[in-house]
Amino acid sequence: MNRLRNIAVLLCFSFVIAFSAYSQLKFDKPVLITKENGLPVNEFLSVKKGEDGFIWIGTSEGLCRFDGLQVKVIQEGSDLRYSLFDNAIITVQPAKDNIWLGTDQGLSVLNTKDYSFRHYQLTNNGKTDSLKRRFDQPINTMYKDKAGNIWIGTRNM
């Protein structure tokens, strides 16, 4: 009886090892993305793969789009319609044709079709009418649920 139990345990253990080895990802040609090949800094705060296949990377110096070969960096600029309001990207959340960005200065949404931006700052009463540098605007986390709703986590609200 003990011998049969030992054989059963051994078979179960073999299946567990076989299935766990099968489920591991295999990287044929990994790429190290650094400042030397396009990132504005070597540290990043958030990284997600979008439905468009691009890798979107949030750094303290802007948003980066990696296509497998090169990095495109999007940063602050004078025309807020086509640039970031704040370079410090804390969290990135792709959703269809948009990339939602949690920054130190609120929420920015990038339209990946025309690379235009919408920027929002929030208060207890909703969004503000104008953008200005404030200390109480960091978006710390974002989550997209199964229905496609974007949930935003802040310190204050």
| Residue range 60-102, pLDDT digits in tens | 999 999 998 899 999 999 999 999 999 999 999 999 999 999 9
Host domain of residue 92: 35-154
Q: Rounded to the nearest 5°, which phi and psi values hold at 57?
A: -120, 125
Residue 16 lies in a domain: no
Give the pair of three-digit tokens for residue 149.
Answer: 């709703």
The model carries a pTM of: 0.76
- The count of structural domains within the chain is 1
CB within 8 Å of 95: residues ≥ 6 apart: 51, 144, 148, 150
Contact 101, 63 (CB under 8 A): yes
Strand-strand pairing, 126-127 and 116-120: unpaired
**CATH code of 107's domain:** 2.130.10.10
* 109-137 pLDDT, tens digit each: 999 999 999 999 887 777 777 787 777 78
Residue 27 lies in a domain: no
